[in-house]
């Protein structure tokens, strides 16, 4: 299905916002103003956006430690996220969670997660809930999506979640983002089914798909099929593996000694989902460079505004430590 | 004696024990680092720099870089130990013990007793604990309360580089499973370390970090540093504190605590774990039970509130104990009438 101009513009804007969000954080973190551990999503935008552009607020996602892209793509408020990362009282989680724990349940975003592999079982629980709620008037189920990395696919929790989803026929979708690294370790070493995660999901009895995660259209079109399948009552879960790249270190501050010579330059030149998108839509005369340039400018502006707002936003007070608990000691 | 950082004391002690005893093996995530990458093994040497150079020196059989699989790491440590090896496993952050609790609690901790004394399980499980880095709720926790409450496990919380060395060597040579809790804030602290290659510190013997007659402060790990700072400040005002560094929370040096409280009659317990069912409550109960007659004031506990660890700087510092909070608690016991 050909995307119309509006949908293309929207997809590009979403990807660009994520990219600039992360590039700006990369800068800001070096000044020491932002506290904590931050894992940037730059390079993987086409996955989050290619998946989430298909979803409604009824659909749920569970994210990872590298969650900013998933959050933005699922509709979390950009400024609320930035403020959260800044640790402000006005952040999406009132400064309690920070980068690794951003959540917005009303938007169907059930949390980034600091524990690798923790997300998949939670997504299956939400998928079972979707099944209990039953199909909508069009006969389609809401789905729940677990984003997992190539590293997370080695956790027992991920295996258990896949099997549980299969035996309960839960409308869960396991989205594996294979960016070839888990921290400082290569996927060829850590994943016994060398560089192939989807085959694991298949072995659990699921239908699986694979696509190039740096090509928005490959992600988008593949995911439409996945979704069509999982939304149909009785089919149960599915998995999809996207081959993608991370442009920064594992966390901000990672010296990345595990990378090959010139690896990052090559990835930024050849495997950048934004460049690939631009080349593809301008080549096919679907959008003009000027349209995209305008979005670039607007995105930078939006990020700048969010940063300024975060700097000025009220800080939490010591007594706020005791908010959101049922005791006072 | 040699001056080194806490993290170096840990790294060097494991390295020396690996040289000395072929049965000692290391396992954990990124303990080599760079496996399967262009940079090659040892591209990291452990994210805490506590296993730098191990892979090159001892190779993949004895330096096992694992996928992200805490249950398998913990369980394999148990299996290696039952099979006669002396594993030193690293759980990258103590918080991740949640993923592999069964292998520790139902397996490793219970083998010796449950098998009627017919096995030993000489596994060391190292993990960094504690807050202070704004790493939020799942990368900042103190877990001493869980492991100290587990029969079968010995629990070590070293404060100084020298103690890290002597207690870790003891842990590796010990036939029982040991959980070794390293506070992230201590890694970069330096101190003199006894370089005798057989230097061990026996478990169950507290260290008197400061001596004074007025108040007893009991602490472990990083909290000892806060207690020391508080004691030094209070000393300026003529208030003398015994600061007891527990070193091991299991076995517990009851005698050191009780002897001190019998002299001072006042107790402050500092603990980074939440306030319920913790070391703080445990030690308070011990003193209330066995030194009741010596007490001149209610026992004070300096702990975080009963909440997860919050992210924002302001919230985390409100959450954590501090030297000022310790000093205030000491004064409170002295002001009691
Ligand atoms: C249970 C647990 N173990 C280890 C870690 C430390 N850790 C954080 S992210 C990460 C690598 C995850 O790799 P992957 O799943 O591929 O995600 P990516 O970082 O590539 O997005 C590790 C080991 C953790 N947070 N939780
Ligand atoms: Mg990865």
| C-alpha–C-alpha distance, residues A109 and B53, integer Å | 42
Buried b vs exposed e over B208-218: b needs ≥16 C-beta within 10 Å? ebbebebbbbb
Chain B window 20-79: which residues touch A at a Cβ cutoff of 8 Å? 29-30, 33-40, 43-44, 47, 65, 67-72
- Inter-chain contact B98–A115, Cβ cutoff 8 Å? yes
Find how far residue B182's CA is from the centre of its chain.
5
> Do the beta carbons of residue B80 and residue B63 sit within 8 Å?
no
Element (DSSP H or E) covering residue A147: strand A144-149
Contacts of B251 (CB under 8 A, 6+ apart): B154, B203, B204
- Inter-chain contact A190–B99, Cβ cutoff 8 Å? no
| C-alpha–C-alpha distance, residues B305 and A316, integer Å | 16
Question: pLDDT tens, A222-280?
Answer: 999 999 999 999 999 999 999 999 999 999 999 999 999 999 999 999 999 999 999 99
Residue A1: the pLDDT is 54
The alpha-helical segments, DSSP class H, found in chain B are: 6-20, 54-62, 70-82, 101-102, 111-114, 144-148, 161-173, 222-236, 254-264, 279-290, 313-319, 323-335
Length of chain B: 337
Chain B residues touching residue A189 (CB < 8 angstroms): 35-37, 65
Q: Does B188 touch chain A (CB under 8 A)?
A: no
B183 is annotated as an active-site residue: no
Across the A:B interface, residue pairs with CB atoms under 8 Å apart total 164
Contacts of B145 (CB under 8 A, 6+ apart): B273, B274, B277, B278, B279
Atom of ligand 1 nearest to the CA of A246: 20
Chain A residues touching residue B64 (CB < 8 angstroms): none
Q: What is the CA radius of gyration of chain B?
A: 20
| C-alpha–C-alpha distance, residues A142 and A86, integer Å | 33
| C-alpha–C-alpha distance, residues B149 and B157, integer Å | 14
| C-alpha–C-alpha distance, residues A67 and A119, integer Å | 11
Identify the nearest ligand to the CA of B136 by its number.
1
Q: What is the mean pLDDT of chain B?
A: 98
| C-alpha–C-alpha distance, residues A71 and A69, integer Å | 5
Of the residues A36, A200, A266, the best mutation for testing chain B's interface (the one with the most B CB atoms within 10 Å of its CB) is A36
Atom of ligand 1 nearest to the CA of A150: 16
| C-alpha–C-alpha distance, residues B204 and B245, integer Å | 11
Nearest alpha carbon, ligand 1 atom 13: A182
| C-alpha–C-alpha distance, residues A127 and A237, integer Å | 9
| C-alpha–C-alpha distance, residues A176 and A197, integer Å | 7
Ligand 1 site, CB within 6 A: A 64-66, 114-117, 149-152, 179, 181-183, 250; B 29, 68, 70, 92, 96, 99
- Inter-chain contact A257–B315, Cβ cutoff 8 Å? no
Listed in order, the ranges of chain B carrying CATH 3.40.50.920 are: 207-335
| C-alpha–C-alpha distance, residues B84 and B80, integer Å | 6
Q: Which residue numbers in chain A have pLDDT < 50?
A: none
| C-alpha–C-alpha distance, residues B103 and B31, integer Å | 20
| C-alpha–C-alpha distance, residues B103 and B22, integer Å | 24
Chain B residues touching residue A260 (CB < 8 angstroms): 37-39
User: What does the DSSP assignment read for B83-146?
Assistant: TT-EEEEE-SSGGGGGGGHHIIIIIITTHHHHTTT------EEEEEE--SS---TTSS---HHH
Nearest to B44 among A152, A257, A329 (CB): A257
The closest of B180, B77, B88, B310 to A35, measured between CA atoms, is B310
Listed in order, the ranges of chain B carrying CATH 3.40.50.970 are: 2-193
Partner residues linked to A146 by β-bridges: A62, A174
Handedness of CA B227, B228, B234, B240 (dihedral sign): positive
User: What does the DSSP assignment read for B163-183?
Assistant: HHHHHHHHHHH-SS-EEEEEE
Residue B289: the pLDDT is 98
In the set B139, B183, B205, B306, the catalytic residue is B139
Q: Which of A118, A182, A191, A267 to mutate to test the pocket of ligand 1 (most atoms within 8 A of CB)?
A: A182
Nearest alpha carbon, ligand 1 atom 11: A182
| C-alpha–C-alpha distance, residues A176 and A268, integer Å | 21
Chain B window 69-128: which residues touch A at a Cβ cutoff of 8 Å? 69-72, 95-96, 98-99
Residue of A nearest to B133 (CA): A36
Q: Residue A313 carries which DSSP code?
A: S
Nearest to A184 among B44, B70, B312 (CB): B44
Q: How far is B278 from chain A (nearest CA, A)?
A: 14
Question: pLDDT tens, B35-62?
Answer: 999 999 999 999 999 999 999 999 999 9
Answer yes or no: is pLDDT of B266 > 80. Answer: yes
The alpha-helical segments, DSSP class H, found in A250-288 are: 263-270, 273-283
Q: How far is A190 from chain B (nearest CA, A)?
A: 5
Q: What is the dihedral of CA B49, B193, B58, B36, to 10 degrees?
A: 0
Atom of ligand 1 nearest to the CA of A39: 19
Question: pLDDT tens, A88-99?
Answer: 999 999 999 999
| C-alpha–C-alpha distance, residues A197 and B33, integer Å | 21
Nearest to B38 among A88, A260, A325 (CB): A260
Cα distance from N-terminal residue to C-terminal residue, chain B: 47
Partner residues linked to A65 by β-bridges: none
| C-alpha–C-alpha distance, residues B178 and B123, integer Å | 6
Could you say which architecture CATH assigns to the domain B2-193?
A: 3-Layer(aba) Sandwich (3.40)
Q: Residue A317 carries which DSSP code?
A: P
Give CA separation, A132 vs A54, A140, A141, in Å.
22, 13, 10
- Inter-chain contact B139–A37, Cβ cutoff 8 Å? yes
> Do the beta carbons of residue B252 and residue B246 sit within 8 Å?
yes
Q: What is the mean pLDDT of chain A?
A: 97
| C-alpha–C-alpha distance, residues B161 and B6, integer Å | 4
Instruction: Read off the pLDDT of each residue in B268-277 and give the average, rounded to a whole number.
Output: 98
Residue A2: the pLDDT is 80
> Do the beta carbons of residue B105 and residue B136 sit within 8 Å?
no
The closest of B296, B280, B155 to B227, measured between CA atoms, is B280
Give the Å distance between the CA of A259 and the centre of ligand 2: 13
> Do the beta carbons of residue A99 and residue A83 sit within 8 Å?
no
| C-alpha–C-alpha distance, residues A83 and A214, integer Å | 29
| C-alpha–C-alpha distance, residues B257 and A314, integer Å | 45
Q: How far is A104 from chain B (nearest CA, A)?
A: 17
The widest CA-to-CA distance across chain A, in whole angstroms, is: 63
| C-alpha–C-alpha distance, residues B301 and A98, integer Å | 29
Partner residues linked to A148 by β-bridges: A176
Give the Å distance between the CA of A237 and the centre of ligand 2: 22
Chain B window 127-146: which residues touch A at a Cβ cutoff of 8 Å? 133-139
Chain A residues touching residue B34 (CB < 8 angstroms): 184-186, 257-258
Whole-model pTM? 0.97
> Which CATH number is associated with domain B207-335?
3.40.50.920
> Do the beta carbons of residue B298 and residue B269 sit within 8 Å?
no
Answer yes or no: is pLDDT of B284 > 70. Answer: yes
A157 class by beta-carbon count within 10 Å (0-12 exposed, 13-18 middle, 19+ buried): buried
Q: Is A202 helix (H, G, I), strand (E, B) or coil?
A: helix
> Do the beta carbons of residue B130 and residue B272 sit within 8 Å?
yes
Is omega for the bond preceding B251 within 30 degrees of 0, making it cis? yes
Give CA separation, B74 vs A119, A121, B63, B99, B109, in Å.
21, 21, 15, 10, 11
Of the residues A184, A261, A265, the best mutation for testing chain B's interface (the one with the most B CB atoms within 10 Å of its CB) is A184
Partner residues linked to B300 by β-bridges: B268
Q: Is A63 helix (H, G, I), strand (E, B) or coil?
A: coil
Query: Residue B323's pLDDT band (boundaries 50, 70, 90)?
Result: very high
Contacts of A101 (CB under 8 A, 6+ apart): A93, A111, A112, A113, A114, B136, B137, B138, B311
Instruction: Read off the pLDDT of each residue in B212-222 and give the average, rounded to a whole number.
Output: 98
Give the Å distance between the CA of B67 and the centre of ligand 1: 10
Q: What ipTM was assigned to the predicted interfaces of this complex?
A: 0.97
Domains of chain A: residue spans and CATH: 5-315 (3.40.50.970)
């Amino acid at each position: 299905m050909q995307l119309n101009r509006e949908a293309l513009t929207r997809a590009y804007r979403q990807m660009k916002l994520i990219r600039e969000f992360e590039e700006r954080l990369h800068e800001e973190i070096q000044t020491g103003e932002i506290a904590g551990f931050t894992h940037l999503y730059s390079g993987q935008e086409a996955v989050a956006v290619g998946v989430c552009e298909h979803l409604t607020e009824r659909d749920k996602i569970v994210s990872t430690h590298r969650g900013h892209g998933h959050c933005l793509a699922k509709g979390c408020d950009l400024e609320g996220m930035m403020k959260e990362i800044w640790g402000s009282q006005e952040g999406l989680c009132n400064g309690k969670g920070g980068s690794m724990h951003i959540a917005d349940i009303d938007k169907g975003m059930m949390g980034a997660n600091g524990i690798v592999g923790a997300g998949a079982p939670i997504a299956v629980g939400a998928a079972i809930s979707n099944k209990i709620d039953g199909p909508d008037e069009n006969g389609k189920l809401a789905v729940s999506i677990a984003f997992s990395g190539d590293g997370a696919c080695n956790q027992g929790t991920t295996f258990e979640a896949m099997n549980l989803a299969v035996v309960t026929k839960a409308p869960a979708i396991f989205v594996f983002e294979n960016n070839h690294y888990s921290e400082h370790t290569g996927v060829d070493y850590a994943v016994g089914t060398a560089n192939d995660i989807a085959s694991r999901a298949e072995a659990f009895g699921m239908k699986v798909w694979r696509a190039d995660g740096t090509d928005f259209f490959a992600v988008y079109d593949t995911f439409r099929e996945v979704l069509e399948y999982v939304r149909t009552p009785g089919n149960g879960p599915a998995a999809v593996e996207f081959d993608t790249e991370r442009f920064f270190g594992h966390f901000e501050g990672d010296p990345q000694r595990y990378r090959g010579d010139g690896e990052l330059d090559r990835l930024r030149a050849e495997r950048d989902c934004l460049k690939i998108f631009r080349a593809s839509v301008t080549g096919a005369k679907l959008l003009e460079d000027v349209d995209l340039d305008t979005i670039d400018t607007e995105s930078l502006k939006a990020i700048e505004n969010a940063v300024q707002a975060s700097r000025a936003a009220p800080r939490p007070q010591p007594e706020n430590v005791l908010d959101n608990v049922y005791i006072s000691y | 004696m040699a001056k080194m950082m806490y993290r170096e004391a840990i790294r060097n002690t494991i390295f020396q024990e690996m040289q000395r005893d072929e049965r000692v093996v290391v396992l954990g995530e990124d303990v080599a680092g760079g496996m399967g990458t262009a940079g090659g093994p040892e591209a990291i040497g452990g994210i805490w720099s506590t296993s730098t150079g191990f892979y090159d020196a001892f190779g993949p059989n004895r330096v096992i870089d694992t996928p992200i699989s805490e249950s398998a790491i913990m369980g394999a440590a148990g299996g290696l130990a039952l099979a006669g090896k002396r594993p030193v496993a690293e759980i990258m952050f103590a918080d991740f013990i949640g993923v592999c609790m069964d292998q520790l609690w139902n397996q490793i901790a219970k083998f010796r007793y449950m098998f009627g004394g017919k096995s030993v399980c000489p596994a060391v499980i190292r993990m960094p604990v504690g807050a202070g880095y704004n790493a939020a709720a799942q990368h900042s926790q103190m877990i001493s309360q869980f492991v100290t409450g587990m029969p079968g496990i010995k629990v070590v919380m070293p404060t100084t580089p020298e103690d890290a060395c002597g207690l870790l060597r003891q842990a590796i040579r010990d036939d029982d499973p040991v959980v070794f809790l390293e506070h992230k804030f201590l890694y970069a602290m330096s101190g003199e370390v006894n370089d005798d290659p057989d230097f061990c510190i026996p478990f169950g013997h507290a260290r008197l970090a400061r001596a004074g007659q007025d108040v007893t402060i009991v602490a472990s790990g990083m909290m000892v540093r806060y207690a020391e700072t508080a004691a030094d400040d209070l000393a300026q005002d003529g208030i003398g504190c015994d600061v007891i560094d527990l070193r091991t929370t299991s076995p517990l040096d009851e005698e050191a605590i009780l002897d001190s409280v019998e002299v001072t009659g006042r107790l402050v317990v500092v603990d980074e774990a939440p306030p319920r069912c913790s070391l703080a409550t445990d030690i308070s109960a011990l003193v209330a039970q066995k030194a009741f007659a010596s007490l001149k004031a209610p026992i004070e506990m300096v702990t975080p509130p009963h909440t997860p660890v919050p992210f924002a700087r302001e919230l985390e510092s409100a959450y954590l104990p501090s030297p000022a909070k310790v000093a205030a608690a000491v004064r409170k016991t002295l002001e009691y009438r």
